[in-house]
Amino acid sequence: MKWTNGQLEPSNNPNAIQCVVLIAEFKPSEQNSYVESDFVKLGKHMEITLNNMVPRGVTNPKVFGIPCEGRNLCTFIMDIPFPKIYRMINVARINIFNNIDQISLFPRLLSHLICLKNVALETAAKAEDTVVAGCSTLKPPAPCLPEYWLSDDSCVIIRATKKQKK
């Protein structure tokens, strides 16, 4: 692996901790998945991300998802309110403008994304506080939720093919 100012050596390897709080997918409206819907894929990624945040000790973790297909943008928030229950909330569904005649959609889009950013920053700040506290005590933080609250089960949802009309 090369860096812009030289080569990464094991002695220079930073002890970084990655904590994902947002998952986004942008694609044209013509491209559809035939095995699993994008909603299911997003939910699975958000569940895995939450499962990674809980053992690190992040309190009340929330993960955010933004699938954008064509001009339609949706936003989701996922948390764990009860054991093995992952709550995925559709916060908003917004149309993105593509010409100057639709500029009236811009304030709603901007205000919604700013609100989402503020909630995501709260989760990021909690994650940072947890990491800093763990570094100062040199002990890994205790998980914020009991381990039995997490679900490692995975499922595959297959979309039924549409029957042809005769």
Residue 113 maps to a domain: yes
Burial of 105 (0-12, 13-18, 19+ CB in 10 A): middle
- Domain presence at residue 143: no
pLDDT of residue 121: 92
- 147 within a domain of the structure (yes/no): no
Closest among 59, 20, 39 to 144, alpha carbons compared: 59
Is the residue at 97 inside a domain? yes
Tens-place pLDDT, residues 61-101? 899 999 988 888 899 999 999 888 889 999 989 888 888 88
Counting Cα atoms < 13 Å in the Cβ hemisphere of 54 gives 21
10 part of a folded domain: no
Is 14 within a domain? no
Specify the number of domains making up the chain. 1
Structural domain of 120:
19-138
For residue 74, give the nearest of 35, 26, 33 by alpha carbon.
26
Taking only the tens place, the pLDDT of each residue in 39-66 is: 888 988 999 999 888 888 888 889 999 9
Residues in the chain: 166
Reported in sequence order, the residue ranges of 8-165 that DSSP labels E, i.e. its strands, are 22-27, 63-69, 72-82, 85-95
Average pLDDT over residues 121-137: 86
114 domain residue, yes or no = yes
Taking the C-alpha atoms of residue 26 and residue 70, their distance in angstroms, rounded to an integer, is 8
Other C-beta atoms closer than 10 Å to the C-beta of 164 total: 5
Please tell me the distance from the alpha carbon of residue 32 to that of residue 160, in angstroms, as a whole number. Answer: 14
